[in-house]
Amino acid sequence: MRIAIYPGSFDPLTNGHLDIIQRAAKIFDRVVVAVVKNDSKSPLFSMAERQHLVGRCVEHISNVEVDCFSGLLVNYVERRGTDIIIRGLRAVSDFEFEFQMALMNRKLNERVETIFMMPKDTYTFLSSGLVKEIARLGGDVTPFVPPPVREALDAVFSSTLPQSTV
Ligand code: ADP
């Protein structure tokens, strides 16, 4: 049984993340989307909310599960009884950071392999950060995120729309 771990902040999950999850689910027997608790980033959504939202968006894919972890990714990967990490590559700009992370993770545990996957071209410009910014400014995020995420973003920002300066 080949299990792959797809770690990330998922704050929140976008259609780009979902595209990677769907591709990985075709290749591996099981894909674990692992929401990371990262205290150095201050997320918009709590761990529980991020995990819940990912869960709702992947419930139609039978071999995908959602989990969360804190601490070193390589330790979590080992606890889950696997050695495969999935990461998404959007553009050359992602490459340097991802390359460094992959090699560091290999240094920490030489059995771990990082597999990079590319999303559909129309999602290469998408990031959670940009989606939050658009939602915060009252823009329509419908093309960029699954419906449960759009509803959650609407709930956060509907009462805090920026005042018009005109
Ligand atoms: P992190 O905080 O670990 O970067 P993210 O949730 O931002 O977490 O991203 C998790 C993974 O998904 C990363 O490998 C990132 O490059 C990838 N990713 C993010 N957005 C997209 C996208 N639009 N298309 C493909 N991969 C993406």
Nearest CA residue ID for atom 12, ligand 1: 88
The yes-or-no verdict on residue 95 having pLDDT over 60 is yes
Peptide bond between residue 12 and the one before it cis (omega within 30 degrees of 0): yes
Q: DSSP characters for 51-118? A: HHHHHHHTTT-TTEEEEEE-S-HHHHHHHTT--EEEEE--SHHHHHHHHHHHHHHHHH-TT-EEEEE-
The yes-or-no verdict on residue 165 having pLDDT over 60 is no
Fold of 3-157: Rossmann fold (3.40.50)
Where in the sequence numbering do the catalytic residues fall? 17, 41, 90, 128
Under the banding of pLDDT at 50, 70 and 90, the label for residue 41 is confident
Q: Could you report the per-residue pLDDT of 142-160, keeping only the tens digit for each?
A: 999 999 999 999 999 987 6
Pocket of ligand 1 (CB under 6 A): 8-10, 14, 16-17, 20, 87-88, 90, 94, 119, 123, 126-128
**Residue 157 CA to ligand 1 centre (angstroms):** 23
**Residue 110 CA to ligand 1 centre (angstroms):** 23
Tokens 């090699």 — which residue?
103
**Residue ranges per domain, the chain?**
3-157
**CA dist., res. 130 & res. 117, Å (int):** 21
Q: Could you report the per-residue pLDDT of 107-125, keeping only the tens digit for each?
A: 999 999 999 999 999 999 9
Please give the average per-residue pLDDT across 96-106, as a whole number. 96
**CA dist., res. 159 & res. 36, Å (int):** 28
User: Which residues pair with residue 30 across a beta bridge?
Assistant: 3
User: Helix count (H) and strand count (E) of the chain?
Assistant: 6, 5
